[in-house]
Chain A
Amino acid sequence: MMNFTEIQEQARQEWDSLQSGSVPVIAVGTATCGRSAGALGVVQAFEEEMSEKGVEAHIVEVGCIGPCYAEPLVNITKPGRATVAYKNVTKKMVTEIVDNYLKGDDPLPHYTLGSFGEGTVENIPRILDTPSFKPQERRVFRNCGVIDPTNINHYIANEGYNGLSKALTMTQSEVVEEMKKSGLRGRGGGGFPAGRKWEAGLNAEGDQKYVVCNADEGDPGAFMDRAVIEGDPHSVLEGMIIAGYAIGADTGYIYVRAEYPLAIRRLERAIEQAHEKGFLGNNILGTDFSFDINIFPGAGAFVCGESTALTLSIEGKRGMPRVAPRPRTTEQGLYDKPTLLNNVKTFSSAPMIITRGAEWFASIGTEKSTGTAIFALTGKVNNCGLIEVPMGITLREIIYDIGGGVADGGRFKAVQTGGPSGGCLPESLLDTPIDYDSLDEAGSIMGSGGMVVMDEKTCMVDVARYFLDFTEIESCGQCVPCRLGTKQLLDILKDICAGKGKKGDIDLLIELSQSVHGGSVCGLGQTAANPVLTTIRYFRDEFEAHINDKCCPAKVCKPLISFRILEDKCAGCTLCAKSCPVNAISGEKKEVHVIDQGLCVQCGVCMEKCPKKFSAVECLSPKLPVAPKETTEVVA
């Protein structure tokens, strides 16, 4: 078997010949996100066009490049030129790109997002200079969208397995020390210092220890772990192997959602390749250290992201968090053995910390939260997608610079971070820096990195209801405060949204939220009420409007809104009447139309259909009174 230098040499040759060869390289992002936007069709189109037209180029399928709003994304590097990134590529565009840029020399600037890498391309701005990319720092995503994730040599050529090779020359405590010095905090959301956890794993007594990677990404709207696994699976494996060495474990498990079939395939492939190269298996890189990794597909229960539920699930039991007081997972985890459990991004960060050193890692971020943070930026924002930013950046920078501001010219209302366990922060807190402690203070959490931007058309009561609906379903059901408390919170919120809110409900919600927080067994329950508490804390007036005035200021809660046709604006075009699904609109052609409030179901189609030039339909809250039905009943 080759030694590591030989392995590296071979890998670099392959990578260099691809990068600095004489033919263009076409990199297509074909992770799950790209695929859902049609990336595989784009790959096929390139292949067909090129063979038809006799154009020579390497097509490389890479992982997620980041900007979801621009999928499918294609990066084309012609020899000696900067890479041009094409956005929202369609099959028709492929023909044009092949004809104009591959055969010719016109990069078709209107199709591009920008350029990057060495050299320039005329008329195409440098992406990294744009406000959207400038604040970003791709570290965990270092290889995502760059390398072919199914090719281990691509990874090796880009510093891959360098960290492992180096770690194996260090003592276990030196590795742990380096992790501690880096200040890396667990990227699963809790933010517990990773080095200290590794240290506990190392110090735990036991001849059998385990390393477990938590890839049970369950927050609605969060998909960065999937992106890392699909785009750079070896970085996760390498981190786990280093961890195994550091704590003295010989077996690792990756608990990954079964709903991530591509990620699982990528991991399987990567494990196979790592075995072939001697990074996994017995006597890794010729040392006494042996380690292997198993994949365990989870069945999609949100609570299985909780460490003790996760390990029970691997054991084949029902995934329910263990009840405190209980030993730490590092003392008694999987099969009651010492277990080091970290998130995908935590493991993925380890190789670069070992390779480049703790100081390098800690050189960005804040004092207590070093390194970068990854967010899935979604909601009412112009540029949605996965972003990686240094810790300490403000919410405002993320939303307005990277995100390009609120979509459709809307007005910002709130940003929700941390998924169902997080909270909603208002405009006044937009200058809050992103780090574990500042977010916590503001009433939210870093969590797994979901970030949902909301505009003034979002009802905050409805948002709280939405998240409680999620946690109520995902509660494991074992403890009373979480099982019944989330349901009760949800029932009250549903009532408020339906106009059935009662005086005192707000105080009841607060009191119950506190009890659910204090009484629940695990983190899911303890944080379940966060969306309720923060929305009440920052948007109490909206709750009051719902309860006292039966008014939904955002005009979202259907039972509280009415639609009305303005007499002075209606031209009698009949479009609204024709599209009303319940025939609630009457009116002759060229006459003013009227909505029967008794029949209307508040679907809003009439408002949508009414031509802009008339804008004759308006939405009102509180509701218009419904005229009582005329009765002919005679009292006998």
Chain B
Amino acid sequence: MSKVTLTIDGLQIPAKEGMTVLEAAQASGLYIPNLCNHPDLKPAGLCRVCVVKMDDWKIAISCKLPVKDGMVISTEDPEVQQIRKSTVELLVANHPMTCLTCEADGDCELQRVAHYVGITQENLNRYRRSVRSIPIDRSNPFFDFDHNKCILCGICVRTCDELQNINAIDYAQRGVDSIISTLANKPIAESRCESCGECVIRCPVAALAPKGAQEPMREVKSICSYCGVGCGVMLGVRGQKVVSVEGDRDNPVNKGSLCVKGRFGYRFINHPERLKTPLIKKNGTLEEASWDEALDLIAEKFSNSKGDKFAALASARITNEDNYLIQKFTRAVMGTNNIDHCARL
């Protein structure tokens, strides 16, 4: 791909052929406000917020505009400013004003562009306000779908289509009644949705928001413990509790993608039914015991069962280090090769 140079607001920036103006700007660390763009998805050009003026005459949408050598782009042309501002004002006029209690507060793209174009208390009420009052779809156990906050950027639709190929949701209705909908507008839990949550993490507002989410205070890079694909995860931790899981975008296996189990199936970790002490069966019932008591009993019984009277079943669920020691124990201490695991099931 050949290199080109374009000018954005007087700055010469390098780009590669095939890039869009928005991509080139972002690659050079320049912010052009946008709402419906997502780096994982093809540009849609629907929010119209990334509008720019090209070569001093043509209004264009920077997320769809291919770079050309010598191109001159203005993001602050008066016409651009007017279109951009009106567009953002329109979105704000149709958006609930519940920022403080909103899931996306502080991480909201609409807030960001509103701030950028300069929505003030004064012009906040310029337009007639009208916020939808569609009941929130709470059918999915892991996330809610609040159509009233939806800005119809279509990122969720494109995620479900382009990345997941599931197509559980699409645009429905027309005009202001337009809505992101499942087939026949059924609750999302009754749709084809697989609850992977990929749309939820990409929603620029909080139309799609995880249920009862807590911001983690730290993140730990690890690997998902379900199937054999081995997706990289970031375990979000608060105190001694795992409160969230996100895909690790740096992991070459999943590049950030997760399935429903990987993303939402972590609550077993802090489950109250977790085993907390050794248990020893006394008179037919399992009773809590100390490690010393348990280890003594095991050492005694195992010592009497060496050789082929003994077998160990290791696990495909535990680490290499765990497995290594178990087979070493079986072979070196118990003197038998009766070691296997559930690989075959």
Contacts and interface: CB of A to CB of B under 8 A. Distances in A.
Interface of A: 301, 303, 318, 320, 323-325, 472-481, 483-488, 491-492, 495, 508, 511-512, 514-516, 518-521
B214 interface: no
B154 A478 contact: yes
A518 B84 CA distance: 10
A488 B65 contact: no
A9 B83 CA distance: 63
B82 interface: yes
B46 A474 contact: no
Most A CB within 10 A of own CB, among B48, B94, B126? B48
B91 A508 contact: no
A475 B154 CA distance: 16
A473 B178 CA distance: 10
A485 B132 CA distance: 16
Contacts of A324: 45, 61, 64
B176 A519 contact: no
B46 A479 contact: yes
Contact of A477 (B64, B65, B91, B173): B173
Most A CB within 10 A of own CB, among B60, B90, B93, B151? B90
Interface in B45-102: 45-49, 51, 59-61, 64-66, 79, 82-83, 85-87, 90-91, 93-94
23 contacts: A325-B60, A325-B64, A472-B176, A474-B174, A476-B178, A477-B176, A479-B48, A480-B48, A480-B87, A480-B152, A484-B94, A485-B86, A486-B176, A487-B94, A487-B176, A488-B93, A512-B127, A516-B86, A518-B79, A518-B82, A519-B51, A519-B83, A521-B46
A484 B93 contact: yes
A472 B175 contact: yes
A484 B90 contact: yes
A495 B87 contact: no
Contacts of A488: 90, 93, 127-128
B170 interface: yes
Given A320-B171, A483-B152, A485-B90, A515 B83 contact: yes
- 9 A-B pairs with the lowest CB-CB distances in the bound complex, closest first: A477-B178, A515-B86, A323-B45, A484-B90, A491-B128, A519-B83, A475-B175, A519-B48, A487-B176
B331 to A, nearest CB: 62
Given A318-B171, A508-B126, A480 B176 contact: no
Contact of B46 (A325, A478, A514): A478
Nearest to B129: A491
Nearest to A325: B64
Contacts of A519: 48, 51, 59, 83, 86-87
A324 B45 CA distance: 8
Contacts of B128: 488, 491-492, 495
Interface in B118-132: 126-128, 130
A615 B45 CA distance: 59
A318 to B, nearest CB: 6
A487 B60 CA distance: 23
Nearest to A479: B46
Contact of A515 (B82, B94, B126, B174): B82
Contacts of B154: 478
Contacts of B93: 484, 488
Contacts of A476: 174-175, 178
Contact of A479 (B47, B85, B127): B47
Interface in B269-305: none
A516 B127 CA distance: 14
B175 A511 contact: no
A483 B60 contact: no
B44 interface: yes
A477 B46 CA distance: 10
B53 to A, nearest CB: 10
A516 B59 CA distance: 12
Contacts of A323: 44-46, 61, 64
Most B CB within 10 A of own CB, among A301, A476, A480, A485? A480
Contacts of A486: 175-176
B177 interface: yes
Given A487-B130, A511-B86, A478 B175 contact: no
